[in-house]
Amino acid sequence: MTSSDKPVHRRAKDYRWQGVEELPYKEDGRALFKTITRQVLFSDPQMQGELRYFEVAPGGYSTLERHEHMHALLVLRGRGHCLVGDEVKAIELYDLITVPSMTWHQFRADAGEPLGFLCMVNAARDKPQLPTAQDLSRLKASPAVAAFLAEGQHRP
Ligand code: MN
């Protein structure tokens, strides 16, 4: 985990940075997700935020979740689609995405390309909530959301 121990961590090949460890996306095993790595770029007890880089492999996706804390994202590699609330949008290089508090969200990489993004969050944050069957049926009332979710809701 990067802190102020060293001022510069040079870029390494393929969206890696020197001295930054590549970690699994989630450790608790509760969630539905597929093929994602996580790097914590900035995290220091003096800061109230953390900056992470996530990379979703081609065809992979993040957990469908919501929580009290917000996300602010910048796409740094590839392209894909995101669900934020009841909207599904195509996303590509350098797009900015904000996820408001208690809003369902999921990110998917398109089939042929990885999707890499920076994600800023509070350092102290609540645990993500997963959708109940009722939440899912409410989300699927929108045809666009139903189509998005149908692309790969299965256990890895
Ligand atoms: Mn989240």
Cα separation, 70 vs 118, in Å, equals 14
pLDDT beyond 70 at 153: no
pLDDT: is 25 or 114 the higher one?
A: 114
Ligand 1 centre from 11 Cα, in Å? 26
Ligand 1 centre from 139 Cα, in Å? 17
Which CATH number characterizes residue 111's domain?
2.60.120.10
pLDDT tens, position by position, 104-128: 999 999 998 999 999 999 999 999 9
Token digits of residue 150: 């149908």
pLDDT of res. 152: 63
- The reply to whether 33 falls in a domain is yes
Beta-carbon count within 10 A of 73 CB: 22
- The reply to whether 49 falls in a domain is yes
pLDDT of res. 156: 38
- The reply to whether 118 falls in a domain is yes
* 82 belongs to the catalytic site: no
Helix (H) or strand (E) holding 55: strand 49-61
Alpha carbon of 79 to those of 20, 65, 107, 119: distances in Å?
A: 24, 20, 10, 15
Q: Are 63 and 95 in contact (CB under 8 A)?
A: no
Ligand 1 centre from 105 Cα, in Å? 7
Question: What's the structural domain count of the chain?
Answer: 1
Residues 6+ away with beta carbon under 8 Å from 146 = 139, 140
pLDDT of res. 93: 97
The whole-number average pLDDT for the span 84-95 is 96
The residue annotated as part of the active site, out of 73, 119, 139, 145, is: 119
Helix, strand or coil for residue 90?
A: strand
- The reply to whether 93 falls in a domain is yes
- The reply to whether 156 falls in a domain is no
The whole-number average pLDDT for the span 83-99 is 97
Q: Are 93 and 114 in contact (CB under 8 A)?
A: no
Most confident of 45-49, 85-89, 110-114: 85-89
Containing structural domain, residue 37: 22-151
Ligand 1 centre from 118 Cα, in Å? 13
- The reply to whether 1 falls in a domain is no
The whole-number average pLDDT for the span 79-93 is 96
Average pLDDT over all residues of the chain? 89
pLDDT of res. 27: 54
Beta-carbon count within 10 A of 135 CB: 14
pLDDT beyond 70 at 8: yes
- The reply to whether 71 falls in a domain is yes
- The reply to whether 10 falls in a domain is no
pLDDT band, very low/low/confident/very high, at 28 (cuts 50, 70, 90) = low
pLDDT band, very low/low/confident/very high, at 13 (cuts 50, 70, 90) = confident
